[in-house]
Amino acid sequence: LYNDTVMDHFMNPRNVGDLENPDGTGTYGSPVCGDMMQIQIKVKDDVITDAKFKTFGCGSAIASSSMATSMIIGKSIDEALAISNKQIIEELGGLPAVKVHCSVLADHAIKSAIYDYAQKN
């Protein structure tokens, strides 16, 4: 059901936890399953220097957030905003159709964290 990349990011998730003094915090709750995602970012000179996530969500949500946070670290705000849910799934090598809503959690939480950062600056 799940490929090796998804399983790796599920079993060894990157960037799990909280940031001290985050520059932006985003949360998003899935209307499909009720799961919540929190993503926090650190920003310096318009570049995302660090990102962490926390979730009570399923393996696909964990794998997607692990991948998504890895993808945005080192990117500019504009580059990070341009990353689509489809790209996260592509980097994961695919997800079962029924689990696409789990990867949307990461995508939306990132956008919400960037929005929070923009509002504060």
Residue 74 interface partner, choices ligand FES, a copy of itself, none, CB cut-off 5-8 Å depending on type? none
- Tell me whether residue 58 is one of the annotated catalytic residues: no
C-alpha closest to that of 51 among 64, 38, 36, 62:
38
Query: Which residue has 């705000």 as its token pair?
Result: 77
Among 25, 99, 104, 106, binds a copy of itself (CB under 8 A): 99
Contact call for residues 19 and 41 (beta carbons, < 8 A): yes
Look up residue 44 and give its DSSP letter.
Answer: E
The residue annotated as part of the active site, out of 16, 33, 58, 100, is 33
Query: Which residue has 């570049």 as its token pair?
Result: 47
Residue 97 Cβ vs a copy of itself, minimum distance, rounded to whole Å? 8
Residue 61 is a binding residue for ligand FES (CB under 6 A): yes
Question: Using CB under 6 A as the criterion, which residues of the chain lie in contact with ligand FES when the complex forms?
Answer: 30, 33, 35, 57-58, 60-61, 102, 105
